[in-house]
Amino acid sequence: MPFWSSPKTSLHQRLQLGLGTMLVPLLMLAGGALISFEGALDSFKKQDNVGREALFPLAHVEGILLDLNVVASPIESSHSMTWEEYQQHSQAIKHSLTMLLEFSHRNPTQFNSVLEIQRKWQRIADLCQQILDPSISQSRQDWSESAKTELQEQLKMILQDVQRLNYRLIAFQNDANVAHAEIVREQVRQLIAIICCLALALAALFAYGLSQSITVPLQSLEEGVEKLGKGNLSHRISLTTKDEFSHLANTFNLMAAKLEQSQRDLYRLATLDGLTEVYNRREFNRWLMVEVERSQRNTDQVSLIMVDIDHFKQLNDTYGHQAGDLALCEVAQLLQREVRPGDVVCRYGGEEFAVILPKTNGSDSVAIAERIRLAIAEEPVILHSLQQIEMTASLGVATFPANAKTKEHLIKQADQALYVAKESGRDRVHQAQQDCVDNNVIV
C-alpha cells in the first residue's frame, strides 16, 4: 500500500516522506556517476593493459638488440658477450617476439611488420651463432669479420623496424584510447539518461501521491464547506484516513451536526407552540394564507375549524395550571390523531385551537368537527395523581369561499360560529351560514 493511501500515516509523516524522496534523484545520479566513473577507469585499465602487451615486449626486444651491438663491434674485451649470454638473450627475444605475434593476430594489417622483424631476427641469430658459437668460430675464422659487418647492418635495419613498430603501436594505442573514450562517453550518457528518467519518474510518482493525499481531502473539505454555506446542513464529509484532515473532517461534521440541530430547534421555536408541539399562531396565518390562495387558483374549498375547551378557566382554578397545561397537550394530540393527513393543527391562543382543512367543503368539515368533539368528550384527562377530568369543547366551522371572501373574513366567520356554539350551551359544533343574496352572514 502506498504511503499516501495508508490510513495510519499522518500528514506530517507524508510530508517528511515526500520531501525525503526529492533526494532520491540526487542520490541516484550520484550513484550512477560513481558507477560510470569506476566502469570507465576499469575499461581504460583494460585498454592500457592491452597496449602494454605489445609495447613492453617490443621495448624488451629493442634493449636486447642494442646489447647485441657488442657482438658485432666490441669496444673492449670486457664488454664482449659470451655464447651462454647470447643464448639467454636469444631465448628472451624469441619469447618477446612470440608475445608480439599473438598481439599482431588481433589486427594483422596494422602489425604485419612483426613478421618482418622475426625474419630479420632469424638472420641475426644465424650471424651471432657464427660469431659466438665456439665450434663454428674456431673452424671458420675467415667468416668472422664479414659476419660482424653483416650483423651490424642487420641490427641497424631491425632496430629501425622496431622503432617504426613502436611508433605505430603508440599511435594505435592513442587511437584505441580515443575510440574507447567515445564508447565510454556514450555508455555514460546512456546510463545517466536512464538514471535521470528513473529518478524523475520516481520523483513524479511520489509527488503525485503526495499531492493526491493532500488535494483529495482538501477538495472534500472544500465541497463540504460550500454545501454548508448553501444551507445543506445535513451534508457530512467522509474521509477514510486517520490524519489531520480526518480530524478536521470530524470537527466539521460535529459543527454541521450542531448547526443542523440548532436549525431544527430554531425552526421548532419559530413554527411550533412550545407547550403543545403543534403549529403556533404565526404558522397558522401562513398556512391559512397559502390554502386560501390555492383555493382561489384551483376553485377548491378550504374550511377552518375553531376549537375552544369549555370551562377551561374553571379547570385551572380547580386543579391548577399544570392540569390545564396537561389538558391542552391532550387536546393537541387528539386533534392531530383525529384529522386527516394534510390537515393543519394549530394553537390559536390560550385554550383555543384551529384546524385548517384543505380541499374540504362545509358538510365534510362539519363531520370532521363532530368527530373531534366526540373524541374530546369521550377521552378524559388523567392527571399525575391518576384523577380523571372530563372535558368538552365547542367548535365553530367556516368554509372559503362559501362563508367568506378573504382569509381574515374566514377567521372571523369561524370565530363567530364558535361564539354561537358556546352561547348555545357548549359541547357542540356550529357552522357559519351566509345569505348569497346580500352577502350577510347568518350565525
Query: Closest Cα to residue 211, out of 54, 48, 18, 72?
Result: 18
pLDDT in tens, 172-191: 777 777 777 777 778 777 87
- pLDDT the model gives residue 76: 46
Query: Which spans in 306-433 are helix H?
Result: 312-319, 321-338, 362-378, 407-423
Query: Closest Cα to residue 417, out of 434, 397, 435, 392?
Result: 397
Highest mean pLDDT among 18-32, 65-79, 318-332: 318-332
Query: Closest Cα to residue 251, out of 262, 240, 231, 237?
Result: 237
- pLDDT the model gives residue 111: 65
**Which residues are tagged catalytic?**
351
Residue 112 makes CB contacts below 8 A (sequence gap 6+) with 104
- pLDDT the model gives residue 341: 92
Residue 57 clears pLDDT 90, i.e. is over it: no
Residue 301 clears pLDDT 90, i.e. is over it: yes
Q: Which three cell numbers stand for residue 290?
A: 397559502
Q: Which residue has the higher pLDDT, 302 or 137?
A: 302
Query: What 3-state DSSP class applies to 1?
Result: coil
Q: What is the dihedral of CA 266, 267, 271, 277, to 10 degrees?
A: -90
> How confident is the model over 83-97, as a mean pLDDT?
82
Residue 130 clears pLDDT 70, i.e. is over it: yes
Long-range contacts of 248-256 (CB under 8 A, 24+ apart): 248/221, 249/217, 249/220, 249/221, 249/224, 252/221, 252/224, 252/225, 252/228, 256/224, 256/228
pLDDT band at 424 (very low <50, low <70, confident <90, very high): very high
Q: Which three cell numbers stand for residue 341?
A: 393527513
Residue 312 clears pLDDT 70, i.e. is over it: yes
Instruction: Look up the pTM and report it.
Output: 0.53
DSSP state letters, 194-223: HHHHHHHHHHHHHHHHHHHHHHHHHHHHHH
Residue 212 clears pLDDT 60, i.e. is over it: yes
- Average pLDDT score over the chain: 80
- pLDDT the model gives residue 438: 38
Which residues are bridge partners to 272 per DSSP?
279
pLDDT band at 440 (very low <50, low <70, confident <90, very high): very low
Residue 13 clears pLDDT 70, i.e. is over it: no
Instruction: Provide Rg for the chain, Cα atoms.
Output: 61
pLDDT band at 11 (very low <50, low <70, confident <90, very high): low
pLDDT in tens, 113-124: 777 888 888 888
- First-to-final CA distance of the chain: 83
Q: Which residue has the higher pLDDT, 437 or 317?
A: 317
Residue 162 clears pLDDT 70, i.e. is over it: yes
Residue percentage of the chain with pLDDT more than 90 = 32
Residue 123 makes CB contacts below 8 A (sequence gap 6+) with 154
pLDDT band at 4 (very low <50, low <70, confident <90, very high): very low
- pLDDT the model gives residue 200: 78
**The amino acid at 92:** A
- pLDDT the model gives residue 143: 56
